[in-house]
Amino acid sequence: MRPASWKTSIYEQIARIGQATASPTRLELLDLLSQGARTVEALARQTGRSVATTSHHLQVLRRARLVEAEKAGLYVTYRLADPHVGDFFLSLRGLAESRLAEVQHMTRQYLEQRGALEPVDNNELVRRVRAGEVTLIDVRPREEYVAAHIPGAISVPLTDLGKRLGELPKRLDIVAYCRGPYCVMGLDAVDLLRRKGFRAHRMEHGVPEWRAQGWRVETGDDRHAGGRP
């Protein structure tokens, strides 16, 4: 093979990754799978798309070796093929944030509509979380918490938060996190907590961002609400 042909062939293979991820739906699926493995049905429900459409997009990602699938009975469970895939998604998102002004504009516009633009130092929140100075709650669905969560976090899915307010101490600030900076569950949780008289903040870091810093994550069951984080 001539050098020029060899180089072109390599670029063609690299382009498979770009082609597979050149879809908002497939990027959203990678984002969700960064939280943990799940079935096609669960992914379809969480993205608001049909099972058939979701399965098609997953097959595209699978052909590019970005995800893997395992069948158990009638259900197929997908997961990221390698931790590098999660790192790639975070790098791609970071590149978009740094190079495309539209990302920042749309984010600011949405947060303004939510009344959520008060100055919050995310680095300071992270420091307080790591020091155990706040009550940290994970408002993602339970299965995502079990798959991986930030150490010290209590699992309080957003759907259960209103019923479990009595379990949360008011002596400490509450920090809520979900799936990262573009996840609205954390915003919804903070809105509810503040209406009920809690001092609450949203942390932009989710599990993938936490792990990308080289910090430890935990798996399995949660601690009891009201205990020390």
Distance CA 90, CA 87 (A): 5
Query: CA angle, corner 45, sides to 44 and 51, nearest 5?
Result: 35
- Take residue 136 and report the two structure tokens written for it: 């940290």
Report the 10 Å Cβ neighbour count for 2.
7
Cβ(138)–Cβ(156) under 8 Å? Answer: yes
Active site residues per annotation:
178
Residue of 172, 28, 17 whose CA lies nearest to 93 = 28
Distance CA 38, CA 36 (A): 7
Residue of 29, 34, 25 whose CA lies nearest to 82 = 34
Cβ(179)–Cβ(211) under 8 Å? Answer: no
Report the 10 Å Cβ neighbour count for 1.
8
